[in-house]
Structure formats: C-alpha cells, structure tokens
Chains A and B, each alone.
Chain A
Amino acid sequence: MILGHFGVGKTSLIRRFVENSFSDKYQVTIGVHISKKVVEVGPEESVSLIIWDLEGTDEVQMIRQAYLLGTHGVVFVFDISRPSTFQDLNRDLRIVADKMPETPLVVVGNKKDLAIEDELQILLDDNDIKADYLTSAKTGDDVNEMFTHLAMLLNGHS
C-alpha cells in the first residue's frame, strides 16, 4: 500500500519500479491502481509484491477503510520539495500506525533530485523527519532498493 499526500510521486515511484519508466507530467490517480512485481529477496527466494497505488489525500485520516484490508506493508511517501506534504508527517505516520498496527512501514522522501543533499538533510532535521529512504522516481535513485527492502521486511514478517 502506497500512501501519502497528492502529487508526491506515488504513482511515479511504482511506475519506475514496475516498468522502469518515468513521466514528468502529473496525472492525478483516482481510486486505486494495482500492479504486481516479483522481487528477488535472496538466492532462490522471491516475494510477489502486489502494490496498491492509492489516490493521494489531503488527510491520511480520509483513506477509505476498505483499501486497508489485507495490507501487509505500507510505504508512506512525502515530497521533499513541498513542505505541505511533510509538515505533519509524524502525526500522519501515527494515524497510519493506529489504523494498521504491526504493519511494516517504510517512510520515503521522494523527488530528491530537486534538492541539494546538504540542504535536504537540514530540511529533514529542522522538521524532525526520519525518512527510511530518499528517492527519486525521476532518476530511479534508491527506488528499487526501497521496494526490495520492503519485500524483505514482508518476507521476514510473513
């Protein structure tokens, strides 16, 4: 399950991961797109990820409950270039954790190509944000790593 505010690049991350492609054009997701990719997590060991790309919301609280059924892992994405998507990140993460306790959660700051590394770290520190991954769907930076990490978490989890 990929969650986060609208326009943070959830669909782009999945597209980069599943199809290895990217488009600069923003296309709003309505409802949910589901795609699938098999990830090697070890020698002769793979995990089939069924990825639910949820429409972005203004408020995490508003996510339709039905979508959360049967979720094994959550990726929460914010956009490092738009403060409105991470200003309340810690609160958002608490809501997600409340809705899906004991579900592995990976926090991702996307669009890192838009920032200078040093400034980015300052930005994250200033906002008290701990991101597991800083990715760029545009360059592909750390996208595979992030999803593979999630797959491994799920593998250990199940």
Chain B
Amino acid sequence: MATLKQYREQYISRNVQFVVIDLDGRVLESDRVFLAINPGDFIYDVHPFFASYASILETKEGSVTYNGVHLGVAGQNFITDVGMINKGNHILLVINDLTEHYTSLQKIAQARNESIINSELVVLKNLELEERERFKNTFIRNFSHELRNPLTSIVSITNLLEKSQLDREQSQMVDFLKESNAHLKLLLEDIMSISMIASGKLILRHKVFNLISLLELIAFTYGSKTKGTPIRFDLDYDRRIPEYIEGDRIRIFQILTNLLDNALKFTEEGSIALKVSLNQKRANKVSLRFEVSDTGIGIPLEKTKAIFESFTQLEEEGKKEGAGLGLSIVKGLLGLMGSEVYVRSELGKGSSFYFDVTLTYALDLASKPLKKNKKELLDLRKPKSNKKYRVLLVEDDERTQMVLFKTLMDTDMFYIDLVNDGALVLETVINNPYDVILMDVDLPNVPGDQITRLIRDFPFKDIKKIPIIGVTANVFEEDMDAYLKMGMNAVVTKPFDFNELLEAIVKSLR
C-alpha cells in the first residue's frame, strides 16, 4: 500500500509548482512540475502575467492570490491559481494547475452567458420589429387617408367629364379612368383595413343582426354580379342556423365578400358558392362554418400559405387586378374573431376557403320562426298613423339604389325620390318637402357629408332640420364621427341591415 505521502506526491505535487524569485524578478529555484521555468530566467520574460510580482512588494499583507490565470509557456497552456508570497529577501510563487476545473467552469459560463445574451437579443429584436411594424402601419394609415381626398376630386371630375361632349375614343378613355378610380378606391380601403387590423385600431362591434338577411343580401349581390356570365352563384345554408346572431355584421360581410370576390377573380366559368353549415349549438353559443368554393384555377399547394400575406399578388407574373389584400384582410379579421381561414385547393379544379366562428345568439330571438314576415317586423316599429313619408334617396350607385328602393317600397311607408348627383341635392330639397334624406357620402360633384353641412347651415328652418341619415361604405370609426359632426342624425353602413336602416329612419321621424 502506498503511503499518504506517496498519494500526496501522486495527486497534488504533480499539479503544484513552486518557484522562488529574487526581488528583481530573477528565478532562483523552480521545481518545473508543469511550467518550463528555469533558474536564471527573468520571471516577467516567462509570461507578461508575472510582471505583477512587483505589486506584491506594495501590499501590506505580503501575499496575494490570482485566480484563473491563463499561462501559456513554451507552447503549453494552463489555467492556474497563482499565489505570490513575500518572504522578505525573495518571493515564493505557488502555481496551481487547475486547467480541468476552470475548463469545466468555462463550459458552464459559456452556456449561461450565451443564453442570457440570446434572450436579450430576442427581446430587442422583437421590440425593434414591433416599433417598425407600428411605424409602418401608422404611416400607411395616414398616407392612405390623405390619398382619399384627392381621389374624391378625381372621381368627381371624371363624372363631370363623362357628362360633357365626348367622342367615342374620349368616352372610352373616361370609362377606363372610372374603372381605374374604382380600383384605386378599393385598394385604398383595403390598405386602410389592413393597417387598422395590424395596428390594433380595428375594434369589432358586436350587435344582434339578422344573419339570414345578410346571406340573402350577399346572394342578391353576387347573383346580379354573375348574371349574364358563365358563372353561377349558389347560396346554401343549413336551416337550423339561428336567424339572429350577435357579432360584427359589417366585418362578417367583409370577410365573405372578400372571399367571394377572390373566387370571382379566379374563376372563368362554372360556379362559386357560399355555404353556411351548423357545427354545433351549445347554451347560447353557436359555431358556424362558412365556406366559399369556386371552380376556378386553383392554388398550388406550396402557395396556400403565402396567399394570406399582404401584397402577395404583387410578386406574381400575369397578375389579376388587385393587390392581393383581400385574403390578408380575411385572415386579419378572422384573427380578431379568434378564428382562422383554411384553404383546400386543386389546380385546375378550384378552391375552397372555409372558417369556423363561434357567435352568441339570443335565445328568445332564436325561438322565432326562421322566416319572419317583414311586415310583421315593421309593425313593431311603425308609428301609429298610416301616413306615408317622403324620402329623398341620394345615391349614385345603381345596385344600392335598387336594394334601397325595393326594401323601402316593400314597407309601404314611403314615397321615394331619387337623386344621383351631389350637385342636385340642394335644389331638390328646396323645391320638395321631405321627411327624411338618405344620403350616400361618396357622391359625384359634392360629397354627401358636405351637402349635409350645407343643409344644416341653410337659413330656412324646415330645410335645415330635415333628418339626414348617412349611408356609407366607409366603416371606419373616425369617418362616422366626422359625418355626425357634419350634421347627420345617424349613419348606417353598407351593406345595410334592413332593420337597422328602418330603425334609424323611424327614429328620425319621431
């Protein structure tokens, strides 16, 4: 058996080197266990670290230990603890080789520091991205807002131009101009929607509304859009879905029309269809599946993710009209509703976009029969008398004219006059007594909000006080506030909810 002294030899002495130097730094003795230090060397020439021996002479204690000193001597590297002890006329250096110990510490510290630095960088990166995103969205929002005014002027002037004496070629050019205007307007609205969603400025407004009539409105709109084309539009909904649900009607409409417009854009012939099915009903919650399918060109599998990103289409060759914002709006809006849109597609066969939303429905309303007589609904709101009211409808869009005409006539409550040009409104109002005006905002020549201001500033009481209900496709909160400020009594947004519109009219008549 080895003696303890031998063990000490074996396990400690091999790692500890003793060096004695004089006060000038000359090596007097070295046991050369691992460092090539020889008598006669100047210790500071062995390694620059040892120049620190001089400071030992300045300390009161007469000794100091340096931990973790990296020493590379004669091509060999060690990590050591070095003790320096002032022995009066010489200095003793005790050099302890702890390379293994420090190397393992290094690994731990490496992992720790790296992870701290990385998480710091991730936080910074996110902050930077958020900041950039915010800046981008604010910029886009303000910028597109600013663009709307000049665009309104362009639209007005184009309309004036259209009415002037034009030869065939000029009139073709004006048609092209009108088309471009409409496209630009759509784009701006889309960009504003996108930036509102991205910057968190778009807030859903939940209200009870009639889902079935919304679907019928969509069927009417797309039925007429596809009339005379080789495309058929089909609406199919489960009869068990509640008629009245609570949700943001405008946004649901926007999602569905964006999907349908997208389907129309990529379908040459065949059909596009909207299908609404019931997933489940529980308590007062209902989960619905909306599906828009087409027999269009289809989407390659690898692109099914990219189509939901903003401006995707801009990168494509042979692009169709539109910047490809529609689907990205759909994705954003559904995100706000806690849902997600999915796509199934087969190249050359067609695509199908679908999503599920859970909405609240009022139990008492839900118990009503699915199809309710409009007249019955009306009676609830209709003033007692059987008097008919005179309505001035100021609207230039033919399709909207048609919808409004039909719905208002159906009630048998109104006489309706129509004006389709902002410049003609005042004259009409002065010459005819109206009980209420339904005023579109985007009108040729003079916008509806400005006409409202003019009417409110009119010197005659009976004209000045005519109730005015704004009807607009501008669904941004700030727009609505602006219209009310201009003097409108209420603002109803397109697509109209029949009841909402009627309620606004009836309220203004009281």
Contact = CB atoms under 8 A, between A and B. Distances in A.
Nearest to B53: A70
Interface in B89-125: 102-103, 105-106, 109-110, 113-114, 116-117, 120-121, 124
Interface in A5-45: 6-7, 26-28, 30-36
A32 B68 CA distance: 6
B55 A26 contact: no
Nearest to B103: A30
Contacts of A35: 48
Given A30-B102, A70-B52, A7 B113 contact: yes
A27 B110 contact: yes
Contacts, number: 71
B70 A84 contact: no
A50 B106 CA distance: 23
Nearest to A53: B70
Interface stretch (A61-69, A90-98, A127-135): A61-69
Contacts of A70: 52, 54-55, 58
Contacts of A26: 110, 113-114, 117
A69 B54 CA distance: 10
Question: How many B residues are at the interface, by size bracket?
Answer: 20 to 34
Given A69-B59, A82-B121, A32 B113 contact: no
B70 A33 contact: yes
A7 B117 contact: yes
Given A50-B48, A50-B51, A82-B121, A34 B70 contact: yes
Contact of B124 (A66, A67, A82): A82
Contact of B113 (A28, A36, A66): A28
A55 B48 contact: no
A101 to B, nearest CB: 15
B54 A64 contact: no
Interface in B13-64: 47-49, 51-52, 54-56, 58-59, 64
Given A50-B48, A50-B51, A31 B59 contact: no
A34 B69 contact: yes
A56 interface: yes
A69 B102 contact: no
A55 B110 contact: no
Nearest to B57: A70
A56 B106 CA distance: 12
A69 B64 contact: yes
Interface string B67-87: 111100000000100000000
Given A69-B52, A69-B55, A70-B55, A32 B70 contact: yes
Interface of B: 47-49, 51-52, 54-56, 58-59, 64-70, 79, 102-103, 105-106, 109-110, 113-114, 116-117, 120-121, 124
Interface of A: 6-7, 26-28, 30-36, 50, 55-56, 64, 66-67, 69-70, 81-84
6 contacts: A6-B117, A31-B67, A34-B47, A36-B48, A82-B117, A82-B121
Given A7-B113, A30-B109, A34-B48, 9 more contacts: A26-B117, A28-B106, A28-B110, A32-B49, A32-B68, A34-B47, A50-B48, A55-B109, A69-B52
